[in-house]
Every structure is written in structure tokens, then in C-alpha cells.
Structure 1
Amino acid sequence: MADLMQRLRELGRKKDVNLNNSVYSVISCSDLTPGSVDIWVDLPDEIKFDPLLAPFKQRYEQQHGKIESEEPTEGDKTIFDKKHEVDTKKEDAEPLKDAANRLMDPMQTKDEKKLKSAKKKRLDQALRTVKLCALISCWVLLTVSLLMNMERSDVVLHTAVQGGEIKEYVLPASEHRVKVSITLTGPFAQPVTNDSVNSLHLWLHRSVGDNTTAEFEQNSTKWSIHLQPEDILDFSPSSTESRLLILEDQAPILTRGHHDLNTSSHSLITEEITRWGQIGMNGTKLTLRMSSTSSSIVPLTVSYQMNPIDPEDGIIYATILLITLYTLIIFEIVNRTIAALLSSTLAVGVLALCGARPTLPELVSWLDVETLLLLFSMMLLVAILAETGLFDYLAVLAFEVTGGRTWPLINVLCFFTAIFSTFLDNVTTVLLMTPVTIRLCEVTQLNPVPVLMSMVIFSNVGGAATPVGDPPNVIIATHPSIVKANINFTTFTIHMGVGILIVCVQTYFQLRYMFKDINKLRHSVPRDILELRQELAVWRRAAASLSSYSRDEDIVRRALEKKVEKLNMALNRREAGGGASRTDPMFCSTLAQMKQKYRIRDKPLLVKSTICVSFVIIVFFLHAIPELQRLSLGWTALLGALLLLLLAERADLEPILARVEWSTLLFFAALFVLMEALSKLGLISWIGSMTENVILQVGQESRLTVAIMLVLWVSGIASAFVDNIPLSTMMVRVIAALADPAGLGLPLAPLAWALSFGACLGGNGTLIGASANVVCAGVAEQHGYRFTFLQFLKIGFPIMLGNLAVASLYLLFCHCFLQLH
């Protein structure tokens, strides 16, 4: 008890304002007994003179006259409004105590610590050496592969095929397995629009001898391509198709006898020779043959590559490259931009070793210049806009509107981000909202990292609602098969918007559950909460020190417990993110200081910036109308940035250019190269073909359900680990093939919605799953806040799984139960 009294006298802290101003009595004077008043007198002055125990003081003064406290109080002040010298003495005693403890430590403890420190240093040095050796080895492999292999150049040919004839083109002969990658450009029909019976056939042919002597022959499987109808074959739009033709060494070998003059026919019999290698190279002739069933001449452009990368080996190489990238990023072995550069250049080296080294112009063509231009231009706009002080002002305004409460602030940020992302590109939205979010978190003592992750997740969710909100949606909505199916902007937005609204609700509640401990949103526990917790602990110990053996002690204990209950309610409210009252003098003082500090610094520049940003946003909105899509998003942003540079009249551009996220742009460029290299290696097409094969294996009545689920989950999971732009480009062709009336003939609309949900929502899974994630991380890092791949994975991946689960239920209800298609 003595220790408790001593601690109570030493404590002095500020109480919660609402508690200070309270005059509520926890017990009435009529309930008091003389014994309970005597127990009250023995309490420390710091508790005894609390306003909530005023009835005890009043009853005592009625019996014994006015009481004088050892330390006079002012108004409603309690022990938590005072400072005591004991704290200072205690702090002064700490160094002495530490010194004594150090003297008491045995010498062998110091030796053990030095030994552990030396071991740790040696381990760190060894790991650093291993890391450098591994990275240098990758560089050596890349350099050797580029030095030893020339750039690949495809052979491009122009020809025309007459109906009924067989065209031949001689290829380099081989006595073993032959692989030729063929790319054709000509008047080909899309499968979903095909109403022609004419087709073009291509195959590889290998023979020995000539037409007048006995010869051995071998043919590969024929590749058939649908042609446009005869009436529009001439001057029809061109289309490009690619295929890998393989002539196996063990393919059936035929022999043709001498020409029979009596029957004018040829007899074909199977020879006992089982492998072409048994015949040898002597006189072997390898040709690419083409024929057409059309009565018209079919013009063609043919490009071929001998012995391309084997698909099975290519998938293995692509998987290794992808694992390398994620290992470098997850374990933070190097900076993520360097990791992307190393992985992309290694991919080029692998292509070179496989005989498919791309030329420099081809590498440049792999870059998505539209996306890079959009990012660069919006970064310029945001850099100039930040100089006006607008972002600081908006943060203070949001703080005032929400009263500084945690969850209302996050709700405002997330839902405004989701709404803006529906009609603006989500990368643009993130560039505009990230500086505001960071400033707002700084003034409210929140950790910006979890708040930014929540904001960018809502950006990806909101961007999925319209065809212009996310790049995968642009790819899907503009595909010819989707356009022909009459899926326009309005239809797309209505169907996706309802589903995305449900997904937003699920995302919000899942985030609330994941951050139910409000301290996860803070750098550290705020000082007022710490003080409130300590005050609560003191009152609890005071109440626990009184027993219930007598009525007098029970009265005092119940009075203290009621005080504990009020403090506990106040603590729960503060820990749940409840802000102070707007009439709170502390809140008003903080708000006034923030308004004075964070003001608009350059109003003329703000007006100019508003004009330019308004121009960009208005043209972005007009881009949602198909008839007004005359200006791309990248060009629109560049024109707005150029106009602002002219209006700002800056003589020195270096400060503005220094704010551009060059590392983020370089990361995107390297990622585009890597994803195209993975496509060349066959990984992305393998994902599509496996999806199509699984759908073909189920019964007719279940194919739509299985197709929706496979397209949704395969595109969702894959988009979390590979860029969703090339994945969407490949998967939209898969769903077009599934909807081909000549094939499965599945409804196209449900598959399109499933692909849109999967490709857009899958970006929430990892840090590099969506462009907006990378941009947000880059801007945050420039402001001094860095979040890692694993930090984002812990929050984003469960959210992504929840998103896909809700989207699955929505699609199944609409298209398998209601059959809205």
C-alpha cells in the first residue's frame, strides 16, 4: 500500500479534457457513511481531491470544517495536471542504477557480447561477398551472351498464293528435328467474325530426290488460317498470325515410286525407315509450302525464324527469371529498380543464348511509351502544383472537416481516390492523392505507409469500374471482338460498376478488420493515450487496494471503480480513432497553428496550375466517350504539362525535374522489357493455353461456369506476379477464341467481365502487380516513407483474395443463376 501511495504522489499528468470539465459525481452524499469518509481521508491528496469524489469532501467539511490540501488545486485540476520533482529525481537516479548494474556484470558477459558482435560482422561480410559474387556472375553471363551472339534478324518475304496451286519456299535443310517460327500478315478473318469457308494452309515439307526419281517425303501438321470472304478479300484490312511449325525426325516417312505411264498416278507406301536421320543430308530439301482454297489470289507477307526457342525450355527460363526478380525485390538484395534492370537484361541475355537476341529498335518497341509519357507528364504537373502549397492546404482542410479522427480521415481519402479512379487513370489519381495523404498523416501523427497502401488498393478497385480507369480495361474494351459484341462504354460501366461497388464494401470492412488495432496505423502510441493508460492503471490499483469486507471500504471502492469505468470509456474512444471535440481548446489551437503554417504560398501559380490540371481532367473525361477519343491519355497529360511550364515562366527547370520519379520511370521501362521477354519465351501464352485446355475438358453444361472461374482466378493470380498489360493482351485473345461460334461458342460478355475483374483486382496482390502500386511507392520513398514488398504483400494479397471471391459470387449470380447475358 505504501508503494502505491508513493507512486500516486509522484504521478502528475494532464487528464482528458472532457474528464477535466466533468462535474458528474459518482456517489451522492446520502450514501456516505462516517467510516467511508475516514477511508477517503487516508487516500492520497491526488485522488482525494478529484472532482468526482467531491461528495466525500463535502460531507467531511460539513462535519469537521474546511479542509486544506497540502498542494492547493485549481478548479478541476487533479494529480494529472501537476509535475513533481520526484520524477526528476527518479530520472537522475537512472544513470546511477545503470552504472551499478554495469559494475555488477561479470567480465565474461562483455566477452560474450564482443564475440557475438564479431560473429555477426563476419556473417554480414560473408553474405555481402556472396551477394556481390552472385550479381557479378549475372553481369558476366549477360556480357558473354551478348558478345557471343549476333542480333536476330527475321527474314521477311512477300508473295501471293493462287487458289489450287502449291507455293514453295526453300529453307535450310536439316536431317533432324526442324522448328520454324512463322509470322504471316494478310487478309485473315478473326475467328469471331468469320463467315467464310476459304482458308490458307501452311506446312513444312522435306524430301530427297527430284520429281522424276524415287524420293522420300515428310510433312508436318498443317496450319489452317481463315480468310476473309471473297467479296472483300481485295483491299481488306490486314491481320497478323503466328505459329510454330515442327517437323519431327520420327514423323511418318513416305516414298513415291516411279511415274506410271499407264495410270498416270503415284503410289504412296510407308517405308520401313523410321527416322529421317537414317536417310542423311545428301540431297535433302526442306521447303515451306502454302496453298489456298480461295479462287482469288491471296497476298501474303511471310516472316520466319529457324530453330526458335523450344516452348518447354522457354517456360523454364521465364520462370527462373521471374523468381530471380521477386527474390531480389522481396529480400531487398538490391534496389527494386536495379532488380528490374538486372532481370530484364538477363532476359535479353537468355534470348541471345537461345538465338533470338532482339535488335535495339525492337527493344525500344517493347516499351509502353504511352504509359511512360503519361507518368512523366503527370509527375511534372504534380511537381509544379506542390510548390503552391495546395496539398498542405487540402490536408489541413480534411483535418478540420473530420475533426482529426482516424477512420473518417482514411474513409475520405480512400473513397475519394476510388471515385476519381473510375474516370481518371488510376496512376494519375495516385500521383495527385499521394502527397495529400502523406501530409495529412504527418499532421495527424499517423504512419503514412498503411494509409497509402489502403488508398492505392481502393484506386485499383475503383479503376476497374470503367473502360478508362485501368490499362487492362482499355485493352479489353477496344478489342475487335468486344466491340463487335456491342459492349460499349455504358454497358461496360453499368455491369462492372455494380460489382465494383460490392467489392468496395468488402474491401472497406476487410481493411477495418485488418487494422482493428488502431495502433497499427500509427508510428507510435500518441502521448495522450499513454497518459490516459497510466492514469487508468493508477485508479485501478487504488480501487484494487480496497477490500469489500466492510461497507465503508465498499462505498469508496465503488466510487473509484466508476471513475475507472469513465477513464476506460475515454481510452477506448481515443484508441478507436475518435478525435477530440471541435470545441476542445487543444484541437482549436492545433488547427489554428496548422492553418497558419500550411497556407497557399503562391496563389497566381495555383490559378495557372488549376487551369492546366482542369484541362487534363476534362479531356480525360471526354476520353470516356468513344467518339471523342482523338487524343490519347499520354498526349493529353503532356500538353497539360507543357502549358503549365509555359505559364509558370520558370528560367530554371532543374528543381522541377529533380522532383520527377526517374527511378519509377526506369523501373517501368525495365518491367516492360522483362514482360515482353517472358512473352517471347512463351510463359504468357502457356498460361492462356493451359486455361483453354482445362475448359475444354469439362462438360458442355458446366463450361461457362468453369470458364468464368478460370479466367477470373488465373488472370487475377497471374496479374499479381506479372504485369497485367501483356497478360490482358493475351487473355483477351483466349476469351475471343472461347466465344468463337466455330469452337465452344461461349457467351463473350461474362468472360470479358471475368477478365476485367481478374486483371484489375489482381494488381492488389503485390507491390509490382499494378502500375499505381509502383508509382505510390516511388512518391512515398521520395518523401522519406518506404514500404517493402513484404509489407504490401501482407495487406494486399488477402485483400486481393477477398476481392476475387466477391467478384466470383457476383459473376456466378449474374451469369449462371440469372443468366443476364
Structure 2
Amino acid sequence: MEKELSISSSKTVFKSINIPSTSKVKISVPVPDTKTINSRFNGVNTETEDVTRQAFLQNRDTEGMKYDVKHYYKILKIGGLVLVWLICGYALWVNNERDKESYELNIPNGSSYSFVIYELPKDNKIKVILDGRFLPPYYANLTREHMDVWVQLMVMKDVPTNPEYIDNTNVISLQNVSENWQLPLANNKFLDQIPETECSKVFQLIPYETKNFTYHLLSLQFNTNLQSNFTVSMKYNLQPTNPEDGVLYAALILIILYSTIIFEVIHRTMASILASTISVAALAAYDQRPSMAELISWIDIETLILLFSMMTIVSIFSETGIFDYIAVIAFQKSGGKLWTLIYLLCGLSTLTACFLDTVTAALLVTPITIKLCEVMKINPIQILIYTVLSANIGGAITPIGDPPNVLIASYPDVVKAGVTFGKFTLHMGVGVCITLVVIGLQIKILYRDMKYYQSDEPQEIRDLKREIAAWERTAASVSSYSRDENIIKDTLLKQTAQLQNKLKDTVNNCYFTSYDTRVEQIEDLKRQYPIRNKSLLIKSGITLALVISVFFLNSFPTFCNLGLGWTALLGVILLLLLYDTKDLEGIFARVEWSTLIFFASLFILMEALSRLGLIDWVGKQTQYVITSVGPESRLATALVLILWVSSVVSALVDNLPLATMMIRIAADMSNNEDLHLPLPPLIWAIAFGSCLGGNSTLLGSSSNIICAGVAEQHGYRITFLEFLKVGLPVMLSSTVVITLYLLLCHVILNWQ
């Protein structure tokens, strides 16, 4: 049976199509007639189509140009990076490792000791490194005992038949070709009580002439006025780094590092690996290529063990659901008020950093912050930056809050000056409390607009992107060694492709909605985020409490034998034994290995920059300015200059070598009787500058990097510029506040 459906029109011709079925239906499909078509093409519709066609062609050309630019940029980037790799490889290939041999010298009393050098320096410079029981330079006026070191030229008649033995009858003349280097020593009675220290000096040789003589050698001369023999360990380098060139190369390496990170040329971990390789290649170009054992010694293994252990503990702890639950409870207690939660998180971060350390604070507070922001349906990046800035400021309060504080508080001259745990906390705590109040008001005024806490994309798109990133990381972690693994990897990649297609459809159909402060009811949130594993929560809680307790006990000399690294590692071992799981690969896969590699590369980079002379150059310039001003304004100048130099330099390089150098300079100036500078105020300036300076950039502090790494694992990427926009104003304002605080307390009120 066939049924016919027809529609008539004066301007439309209908064409019938038969559809076979049990009861056939004839459907008439309208087709425009020729007159209608011509009228459309000859009228306004034709013009519209022309405009549309032109817009389409123009858009296609624009997209093509964008593709070409991106394509050429990628080629140029890879080509430039490969060129840098080739240059570094060549520098490391042509220069052998220089693991400087150490010589044990026994200098007799009453006569000089001669050490012959059988090679000639390339640039008339010799660097001598001595390790022995030397007094600090500022004790030179308090002792009569000393050791003199200088370089001597030996002119000979003939080439010696045995270079290891010099016949005095073959020596024609001896000539001193360098200035004298005098090192203070303790007398024989107290010599054994002096700790061994390392001293170094670069001798600039005086131009000399050998006339027509056949052969000449250089020798290092040692002489002491002690009543007994003196033992010293010596190394020398015939091609030392030129300080001016070394500082220039170090600055260039820093520019390369920060440029690649700021403009996101490559991942920050890869950027640090590249910068550390360039720095080692620069040392190799100066014939100072370190051995592999020396490179490993530059890495702070204890810090890496601490980070690895705490990452593992937090990873297992997160399986219990405790971070989600704490976020819901915090939301309930604050009533969902944004700024109440921000101040609550910042306060928690400050207290954790104060009594533990900034790294532990970042590892513990970052996941809580992320979960809390997800509950409130806001972007956590801005609030994460607030919390890590608070941790860096809070870590300045106690000697255990930040690594530079540990170094400063344990320095012998600082201990001798009477700086105890309580005195350190009192002086630093007052300044930090004032700073926290000012910073709290600053961020409330500058960032009160809700646009800083919204995302540029709808929540649905953000969730999809994080899910895709999680699937991609999981697929990348699966190897292709076996057939089963290949099947799993293909399944993961197919799921990733499906999610990417879904993301494209969502982007086209999803519209951004404004921030909504209304969230689910508290009871619904508690049901959504319960404690998932109470047994594991108890085990993890006991382990974490034990580790944190021992961390705190490490601040007391009686209990500091174990160290933070061993404490955390023993805690991980205990937790893994209590957890009793066979899936260790899954636990270790959640460790942020890229962050650990970043730190290892950064340690090598900082030591290489120090050997290139950057840190010493900064210290010498600072000391020169301080000593050049009048006595009446010398303390104020020293406080302001040390504080701001420490803050600015800590934003660019690691604050540990900087603090090491600055504390040495402060001790030297304090012991100089002509300057009359008290040591404690200088100590507070160094501690404040080292801690506050890390707030300005993403690389300025270890806690900044840890926070960014944890956030990236959760799908939130903190860029260098995002951190800089918030961190730099905070660093400047906090440093200004501390400048006024130091001048008021130690210059005007004379609180020493």
C-alpha cells in the first residue's frame, strides 16, 4: 500500500521519494525552482555569500599563517637547543675531568718548604687551595703566628734529566714572582683545637724574563714561624677562572634559565637540566671540569631524601580521603566565606612552616587548598600562591623554619654572639608578625575582585582537561615491553582520544557562567567526600605525627643527630611496613620525580655559578659599599644593603650559598675593630632577606617549586608569570616593612 503526502506551492517544486515499508509513505521534498535560485544569486543573498566566502578564505589564510609561524618557531627552537647541546658536548669532550689531586705537605719550622710545579700556567695565574687549621682573617691582628705563601721562579742551566728531582747546582737564579699571602695561625698550645678550614687565593704572577736560559720552573713556597711542624693539604689550578668573565658567564646562564621558563620554551625541569649542563661546560672551558663524583657531591642528598619521603607519606595519606574531608570541614566552619578561608589557609601554612619547615608546609597545605577550592568551585592557583608566600614568611620566624636559618643559627660566630633559639625567634617573630598583617591587607586590597578566583574556562571544560591529563600521564607511565602492556596502553590512548573529542564538542557547545557562590549542602559534601580508609588513616596519622615530632626535636642540640632526611626516610619505611601493600610501583609513580630532578639540577647549577665567581662577586661589592661610608651611618647602610641584596639575589639564585657568603661577610665586618658593627642585627638582615626574597619568583624558594609540582599533579599549572605578578609586589612590600623595622629597632632604639 502506498500513501502519498504532497504539498503544493506556487514557488516551490516538490520531488517525491518512495520509502519501502509495509505501508509505503511518499514524502515530498521541496526543491527550489530556477527562478528562485537566480533571484537569490542576483540579489542580497549573492552579496552575503561573497562576503562569507571572502571571510572564509581570509580566515583560512590567517590559520595557515599561524600554522606556518608555529611550525617555523618549533624548528628554530629545536635547532637552537640542539646547537646549545652541541656546544656543551664539545666543551665537555675536549676538556678532561680535573679531579684536582690533593697534596699533604708537612712544613718544617724554621725553614721554607718548596713545592715544584712542572707545568706553566696559561694566563700567568695560579689558584692555590689550602685546607688546614687556619684562623679566620679577622684574627690576624690578634696573633703573631702565621704562614706565608708565595710563588717563586727557578731558572736553570739545562733541562733536568729527572723532573722529579731538582739539582740545586743546576739552578741559576731564584726570583719571587707573586705577592705574599699571609694566613693567621694559632700558637702551638691551641693549634689542635682549631677546626680545619679551606682557604684559597689566585696568584697573579709578576711578568718575568728568562733571557736565554734553557729551562725554568715555578715553585710554591711555604714558611711558618711556629715552633713545630705544620701540616696542610694543598690543591692548585693553573687555569683559574677570571672573576670578571666568570661573573659574566654566570649572569648569562641565569638569563638563559629564566628566559626559557618565563616564555615556556621548554619545561622548567628540562630548563634546569640544560642550564646546569651549560654551567658545567663553562667550567670545563676553564679547564675546571668537575668529576662525576664531585658533581654528585654538589647535590644535597639529604634535601632530596626529605622531599622524596614527604611526597611518599603525603601520597599514601591522600588515599584515606583526609584532605577532602578537611576541606569540607574547613568550608563548614568558615560558612563558605572566601576571605575567611584564605586567611585560615595562610595561617595554617605560616604555623606549619614556623614549627617544621617551608617544604613540609607546602607538601601538607597544598593538597588541602586544592580540595577546598574544588569544593567551593573556584580556581585554586591564586590561593595556592598566597599560602606558599605565607609559608616563606612564616619560615623566617624560627631557626628551623627555613634552610638558611639553620645555617645562620649554627654558625660559630653567631653562637658565640649569644644568638639562641629564643632570641632568634623573638627578634624575627616581631618583624614577621608585622609583615603578615601588612601582606594580609595588601592581598585583600589588590585581589579583592572575584575575577582572580575564576577560571577562564567553564568548570566542565576544566574537569575534562584534568581528566585527559591524568589519562595521558597514566598512558605515558605504561611501558611497551610486553603484549599485555601494549593492550593496556592502547586502551588508555583510545580513552584519551575519546575524551579529547568530547572536549572539542564541549568547547563548541558549552558557555561560561559567572562565579556562583552557592555550593552543595554540607551533608551532601560529607557524603561525597568521606574518609575512605579509616585503618590507613590511623596508620598514616601516627607515622606523620611521629615524623613531625622528631622534626621539631631536631631544633635542640641533644636530639639533632638523626637529621631531617633520615627522620623522613625512616617514617616512610615504617608507613610502608604498616600499609603492607604489594603495589609499590603505584605508590612511587605518584612521587613528583620531575620536581626531584629539578632540585638536583638546581643544586649543580648553583654550585657551578658559585665556582664561576658570581656569589663572591656579589659579596665583595656589598662589603665594599658598606666599608666606604662614614661611621655614623655605617650600621644603617649595612642593614639596608645586606637585606636588599639578600632579597634580590635570593629571588634569582638559591639562598643557601648566598646565606653562606653573607654570614661570612657579616662575621668579618663584626670582628673588624675599625668598623664597630654588632653581629646580631646583621644576622637578622640576612635571615629576613634570604627568606623574603624567595617570594618574588617561582624559583626563589624550594617551597614554591614544591607547591607548583603538587598543583600540576592535580591538573593546575602555576606559570612563572602568574607567580611573579603576585609574589614580586609581596616581596617588595614585605622587604620595605622589614627595612623600617630593622632601622627602628637596631639604629634608633639600639635594640642589639
TM-score by length of 2: 0.82
**Distance 1:217-1:177 versus aligned 2 partners, 3 A rule:** farther
2:376 is matched with 444
1:624 positional shift? 2.0
Which SS does the other structure have where 1:320 is aligned?
A: helix
**Which moves more between the two structures, 165-174 or 671-680?**
165-174
Residue 148, structure 1, aligned to residue 94, structure 2? yes
Pair 121,157 (structure 1): closer, same or farther in 2 beyond 3 Å: same
Q: Which residue of 1 is the match for residue 320 of structure 2?
A: 388
1-side partners of 2:315 and 2:434: how far apart?
Answer: 35
What is the one-letter code of the residue matched to 2:651? Answer: A
SS in 2 for 1:230: coil
Displacement, 1:104? 7.1
Q: 1:793 aligns with which of 719, 724, 727?
A: 724
Secondary structure, aligned partner of 2:274 = helix
Query: SS of 1:688's equivalent?
Result: helix
Cα RMSD (Å):
2.2
2:657 is the alignment partner of 1:710: no
Q: Deviations over 1:47-97 (max 9, x none)?
A: xxxxxxxxxxxxxxxxxxxxxxxxxxxxxxxxxxxxxxxxxxxxxxxxxxx
Corresponding residue number in structure 2 for 1:285: 217
Q: Who is 1:460 aligned against?
A: 392
Corresponding residue to 2:191 among 233, 240, 248: 233
Q: Residues 22-421 of structure 1: matches in 2 within 5 Å?
A: 103=49, 105-172=51-118, 174=120, 177-191=123-137, 195-209=142-156, 215=173, 217-234=175-192, 236-249=194-207, 276-277=208-209, 279=211, 282-421=214-353
Equivalent residue letter for 2:705: V
Distance in 2, matches of 1:690 and 1:296, equals 39
Secondary structure class of the residue paired with 2:607: helix
Establish whether residue 488 from structure 1 lines up as the match of residue 434 from structure 2.
Answer: no
Q: Which residue, 712, 734, 743 being the options, matches 1:803? A: 734
Q: What is the letter of the counterpart of residue 733 of structure 2?
A: G
Q: In 2 relative to 1, CA 110–643 (structure 1 residues): closer, same or farther, beyond 3 Å?
A: same
CA shift for structure 1 position 397: 0.3
The Cα offsets for residues 662-708 of structure 1, whole Å up to 9 and x where unpaired, read as 00000000000000000111111111111111111111222111111
Output one character per residue of 1:27-62: Cα deviation in whole Å (capped at 9) or x when no partner.
xxxxxxxxxxxxxxxxxxxxxxxxxxxxxxxxxxxx
CA distance, structure 2, for counterparts of residue 176 and residue 495 of structure 1: 51
TM-superposed CA distance for 1:308, in Å, is 1.6
Report the CA distance between 1:578 and its aligned residue: 11
Write the distance in 2 (CA, Å) between the matches of 1:742 and 1:650: 64
Which segments of 5 or more consecutive residues in structure 2 lack a partner in the other structure? 1-44, 158-167, 460-513
Given the superposition, is the C-alpha separation of residues 100 and 390 from structure 1 closer, same or farther in structure 2, using an over 3 Å criterion? farther
**Other structure's SS at 2:102 match:** strand
SS in 2 for 1:231: coil
For residues 816 and 607 of structure 1, what CA distance do their matches in structure 2 show? 52
In the alignment, is the contact (CA less than 8 A) between 1:503 and 1:807 conserved in 2? yes
Secondary structure in 2 matching 1:333:
coil
Deviations, residues 401-432 of structure 1 (Å, cap 9, x unaligned): 01111100111000111011101111001101
Write the distance in 1 (CA, Å) between the matches of 2:686 and 2:194: 30
Report deviation, 1:810. Answer: 0.6
Indicate the residue corresponding to 2:620 in structure 1.
689
Distance apart, 1:215 and its partner CA: 3.6
Q: After superposing the two structures, state which structure 1 stretch, 697-706 or 766-775, moved more.
A: 697-706
Residue 524 of structure 1: how far off its partner (Å): 5.9
Letter in 1 for 2:381: V
Q: Is the 8 A contact 2:210 2:216 kept in 1?
A: no
Larger Rg: 1
In structure 2, what is the equivalent of residue 720 of structure 1?
A: 651
> Shift in Å at residue 193 of structure 1?
6.3
In the comparison of the two structures, how many residue pairs are matched?
Answer: 642
Look up the match of 1:555.
none
Matches within 5 A, 1:484-523: 484-523=416-455
Q: Secondary structure at the match of 2:741?
A: helix
- Distance (whole Å) between structure 2 residues aligned to residue 416 and residue 687 of structure 1: 36
Match of 1:28 in 2: none
What amino acid maps onto 1:157 in structure 2? Y
Amino acid at match of 1:189: L
Matched-pair contact (CA < 8 Å) for 2:615–2:661:
yes
Contact 2:120 2:238 in 1 (8 A): no
Q: Is the 8 A contact 2:134 2:186 kept in 1?
A: yes
SS in 2 for 1:787: coil
Q: Which residue of 1 aligns with 2:486?
A: none
1:535-684 mapped onto 2 (5 Å cutoff) = 590-684=521-615
Q: Could you tell me how far apart the structure 1 residues matched to 2:732 and 2:658 are?
A: 19
The one-letter amino acid of 1:688's match is G
Aligned to 2:708, what secondary structure does the other structure show? helix
Q: In the TM superposition, what is the alpha-carbon distance from 1:603 to its structure 2 partner?
A: 0.3
Query: Aligned in 2, Cα 1:280/1:600: closer, same or farther, shift over 3 Å?
Result: farther
Q: Distance in 2 between matches of 1:514 and 1:818?
A: 33
Change (3 A) 1:223 1:601: same
Query: CA shift at 1:293, angstroms?
Result: 2.4
Change (3 A) 1:682 1:175: closer
Distance 1:820 1:746 in 2: 13
Distance (Å, rounded) in 2 between the aligned partners of 1:705 and 1:619: 39
Question: What is aligned with 1:762?
Answer: 693
The 1:357–1:596 alpha-carbon spacing in structure 2 relative to 1, beyond 3 Å, is: same
Shift of 1:374: 0.7
Cα distance in structure 1, aligned partners of 2:201 and 2:304: 31
- Which residue identity does 1:136 align to in structure 2? V
The Cα of 1:742 is off from its aligned counterpart by 5.1
User: Secondary structure of 1:716's match?
Assistant: helix
Following superposition, the deviation at residue 325 of structure 1 comes to: 0.5
Match of 1:424 in 2: 356
| 1:590 Cα deviation from its structure 2 partner | 2.0
What per-residue deviation string (whole Å, max 9, x for no partner) do you get for residues 465-499 of structure 1? Answer: 00000011011111111111111111111100111
Query: 2:133·2:194 contact (CA, 8 Å) conserved in 1?
Result: yes
By how many angstroms is 1:770 displaced?
Answer: 0.2
Go from structure 1 to structure 2 and tell me whether the alpha carbon gap of 1:438 and 1:289 turns closer, same or farther (over 3 Å shift). same
Q: Give, in whole Å, the separation in 2 of the partners of 1:664 and 1:417.
A: 21
